[in-house]
Amino acid sequence: MKPHEPPDELRALRAEVAQFRRVCNAVPVAIAYYERVGNVCRYANQGYAQMFGFDQQSILGHTAEEVIGAAAARAIQPQVDKVLREIKGIRYERQLPGPDGRMRSIEVHLLPHADESGVAIGAFVLITDITRHREDEAALRESEERLSKFMLASAEGIVFHKGGFITDINPPVMALMGYSAEQMMGRSTLDFIAPDERAKVAAVIAAGHEIGYDSVALHADGSRVPVEFIVRTMHYQGEKLRMTIVRDIRDRVDAQARIHHLAHHDALTGLPNRVAFIERANVLLAQAQARGQSLALLFVDLDHFKRVNDSLGHPVGDMLLQTVAKRITGTLREADLVARFGGDEFVLLLAGAASEAAVAEVAGKLVAAVGAPLQVEGASISVTPSIGVALFPAHGSSAGELIKHADTAMYQAKAHGRAGYEFFRPAMAEAARAELALESRLAQAVVDQEFVLHYQPQLRISDGALLGVEALVRWQHPDKGLMAPDQFIPLAEARRLILPIGQWVLHTALRQAVRWHHEGLAPVPVAVNLSELQFQSRGFVQSIQQALADTGAQGDMLELELTERMLMDDLDAVRDTLSQLRALGVRLAVDDFGTGYTSLKHLKELPLDRLKIDRCFVQGLPADAGSAAIAAAIVQMGRGLGLTVLAEGVETAAQREHLLALGCEAQQGLLSCAPMPAAQLADWLRQRAVQA
């Protein structure tokens, strides 16, 4: 070993010291050692020295005051004293400006160094920069504060829960649920959910879905509160928290319910409407099907409801419909279904209709209940129903099919004199189909003008003078041949096709009258039959005026045949219309007189010209006493009112003699002439002229 070389031991020691220094400089802790005597720095690692603006050599020998500054030294002096006195480590934090001037948070550990006798001779200082840590903490605190402020400020309910247990709620939730915070915290969220909704909510929690969905909360008072939940998962302090926004949707649910109600109910009567009925009926039908039960569907239509509306006004009509609705529901059982299909149509589904006889009994009761008189503004009115019945499963399997068939049966009830009920029979469907076919054909006939007029003379009984001719329409059906008006007029009226047909009749009849006159025949007035719909149509008088103008016919060439029905409406309105027609020179006759219920007052006050005794009273003459009495009365009344009286359907000479004796002025019927086409009638007229 060379003398200037250190011994091995020393070399090893130096290596160890170097190693120790490297470690001390590498750790992210500033380390220093101060001697008690003089408070002088005897060791500092690189980090410590740089922290206070020294290097590792230059710092040595400086006092603490010199290193960290007088103020800081003073501030920590009590800590230092304590460590030296008690020989116990201590930890404190303080602020220190960093090299960039920003304040740093440092954590300081002071550790005492004692000699063998236990006397403190110095202290180690270990400083850790905890700025980042403190900043993170502050940020967290801030965000917590923000969240809690937000929760308090939010108008919407917010619930935090962990694993389904509530950890936090805000005031809106308490207000919505009727609980205090204490009553809710720590409890399972499911405790506050309506029982029938729990499975759904539990599934969302279990799946950890982040979704929004509607549910129902359970209020402290046990009531159900419709809510919307918007759920989010939040990671907080290493834990998964669920945040649920609880939105009160009672208003929305109420509005939806109202909209649903409006869409499914008739506003006037509060009954379900067609949509609701069909929905519900199909459910009941499926149930009945499964149980092997039968049901009955009733289609109720009020007879002549339009008259009430027209003559008494819509408010009265509405009131009547409400009363009818009440009477129907009052007659049925709870389980039965009642709906208003609009207008004067009601549709019923009788649950557990045991037998046809049982259904017939209910239908009979309905006819009586609905038709019972009702007091309106001091007057008693009564509107009877016509009811069609279709049975399930015999007449159909779906609500739609049953409704269609009950509707068909209802028409049958109307045809059979109204105020009654009729069960569906398959033959009716056939008839309905035929009518449907006829209907579409009729619409085409209007376009193609497949109608012809036949004319029947009206003669004075005493001398056979020609008073006029009645125009009677026929349909030249391409397949069925010439069809009488009874076969298509009712359909035309029901489908409003009577309006264009009526116009055509009016024009054609007037044109014909003008033509006959041009052909050199004596002027022959034509009588044209009117339908109620025409009479009530807007601009009716003008349409007559227009027809006269278009054809060049004088007003006195036209006689209009009204029905008693038309005279029953509002007296002032009818009088007004008739007066306007009269002013055009048009004559007015009451057709089929005696079959309706015209009041004497109306007859007396309306500007009329003629009564036509209905054929049914002429038929029995002269033998039938009843007919004779009625015919005599009509003639008497007509003369009393200054009207001419014409007897319809005079077929025999005996009838003619009898009518002549009664003082009846005119006749129309097979005895003198059947209705015939225009050309034929012209021949008939010429022949008469020659004979005369």
Q: Which does 675 bind (CB under 5 to 8 A by kind): Mg ion, ligand C2E, none?
A: ligand C2E
Tell me the CB-side half-sphere exposure of residue 562, using CA atoms within 13 A: 26
Residue 564 engages Mg ion in binding (rule: CB under 5 A): no
Tell which phi-psi region holds residue 389, choosing left (phi > 0), alpha (psi between -120 and 50) or beta.
Answer: beta
Binding partner selected for residue 9 from ligand C2E, Mg ion, none, CB under the kind-specific 5 to 8 Å limit: none
Please tell me the distance from the alpha carbon of residue 45 to that of residue 23, in angstroms, as a whole number: 9
Contact 662, 630 (CB under 8 A): no
> Which stretch, 1-9, 88-96, 641-649, 669-677, contacts Mg ion (CB under 5 A)?
641-649
Q: Is 529 an interacting residue with respect to Mg ion (CB under 5 A)? A: yes
Chosen residue from 272, 591, 598, 662 binding Mg ion by CB under 5 A: 591
Main-chain dihedrals φ then ψ at residue 642, nearest 5 degrees: 75, 30
Cα–Cα distances in angstroms (integers) from residue 647 to residues 600, 660, 685, in the given order: 20, 10, 21
- Least distance to Mg ion, CB of residue 685, Å: 20
Q: Does 344 bind Mg ion (CB under 5 A)?
A: no
CB nearer to Mg ion: pick between 69 and 485: 485
Nearer to Mg ion by Cβ, of 221 and 486: the residue is: 486
How many angstroms separate the CA atoms of 670 and 315, rounded?
Answer: 48
Contact call for residue 407 and Mg ion (CB under 5 A):
no
Among all chains, which residue has been given the structure tokens 């007015």? 588
Minimum CB separation of residue 480 from ligand C2E in Å reads 15
- For every residue of 110-167, DSSP letters joined together read EEEEE-TTS-EEEEEEEEEE-HHHHHHHHHHHHHHHHHHHHHHH-SSEEEEEETTEEE
Stretches 393-401, 425-433, 444-452, 586-594: which one binds Mg ion (CB under 5 A)? 586-594
**Which of 592, 627, 632, 659: binder of Mg ion (CB under 5 A)?**
592
Q: From the CB of 571, what's the least distance to ligand C2E, in Å?
A: 23
**Interface with Mg ion by CB under 5 A: which range of 32-40, 168-176, 258-266, 529-537?**
529-537
Task: Identify which range of 277-285, 294-302, 528-536, 545-553 contacts Mg ion by CB under 5 A.
Answer: 528-536
**Quick count: other Cβ atoms within 10 Å of Cβ 40?**
17
Which does residue 272 touch among Mg ion, ligand C2E, none (CB within 5 to 8 A, set by kind)? none
Q: Which of the choices ligand C2E, Mg ion, none does residue 651 contact, using the CB cut-off of 5 to 8 A by kind?
A: ligand C2E
Q: Which among 646, 649, 645 is positioned nearest to 616, based on CA atoms? A: 649
Q: Which is nearer to ligand C2E, 332 or 590 (CB)?
A: 590
**Nearest distance in Å: CB 624, ligand C2E:** 16
Task: Give the span between the Cα atoms of 592 and 352, in whole angstroms.
Answer: 47
Task: Examine residue 667 and tell whether it contacts Mg ion (CB under 5 A).
Answer: no
**CA 340 to each of CA 131, 275, 299, 330: distance values in angstroms, whole numbers, following the listed order:** 79, 10, 10, 15
> Which residues here bind ligand C2E, judged by CB under 6 A?
456, 472-473, 484-486, 489, 502, 505, 529-531, 561, 591-592, 615, 648-649, 651, 669-670, 675
For ligand C2E, the closer of residues 109 and 615 by Cβ is: 615
At closest approach, how far in Å is the CB of 633 from Mg ion? 18
Residue among 492 and 635 whose Cβ is closer to ligand C2E: 492
Ramachandran sector of residue 313 (left: φ over 0; alpha: ψ -120 to 50; beta: rest): left
Measured from the CB atom, the residue of 59 and 505 that comes closer to ligand C2E is 505
Task: Tokens 């930890």: give the residue.
Answer: 91
Q: Which is nearer to ligand C2E, 197 or 591 (CB)?
A: 591
Output the six-digit token pair for 377: 């503004």
In angstroms, the CA 239 to CA 30 distance is 34
Number of residues that bind Mg ion (CB under 5 A): 5
Least CB distance to Mg ion at residue 615 (A): 6
Residues that bind Mg ion (CB under 5 A): 529, 561, 591-592, 648
